[in-house]
A = this chain, B = another copy of it.
Amino acid sequence: MPAVADPLTRTAALFHALSDETRLEILELLRDGERCVCELQAELDAAQSRLSFHLRVLREAGLVNDRREGRWMYYTLATSTFAEVHASLARLSGSDAAVPGAPKTAKAATAGAKRALRVVTDCCG
């Protein structure tokens, strides 16, 4: 696996980390500030290994930061990654925004032209 994944892969991974209710609950709790795992556990009423699993998914996606203090682990939101998600989402819905580093072979497009290289199809005119 490459150190830094292709943008679409990365975006999919971010959205995947956000696609689970338990993880969203965790993030909502963290929105109010740093929390210790034991607090999260109490508030979510989740089995310890289950919580740990979801924290790991969030951590590996870069959505939370962790910090050890004695025998406790504290988690916070990683705001810069949220900014990244916002940007990715904007790119999807948003206007044009030509992003460098094109995915496939198709997009060798010229400057202004939006649908520059539309693949030739035999159907739908």
Q: Contacts A12-B21, A15-B19: A33 and B124 contacting too (C-beta < 8 A)?
A: no
Q: In the assembly, how many copies of this chain are there?
A: 2
Encode contact with B along A65-93: 1 for CB under 8 Å, 0 otherwise: 10100001010110100110110011011
Question: Across the interface, do B102 and A34 meet the contact criterion of CB distance under 8 Å?
Answer: yes
CB-nearest residue of chain B relative to A79? B97
Known: A33-B104, A100-B67, A107-B32. A121 touches B39 (CB 8 A): yes
Query: Which one of B31, B74, B82, B103 lies within 8 Å of A104 (CB-CB)?
Result: B74
- A selection of 9 A-B contacts at a CB cut-off of 8 Å is A8-B21, A27-B92, A31-B98, A34-B104, A65-B100, A72-B124, A76-B99, A86-B86, A86-B89
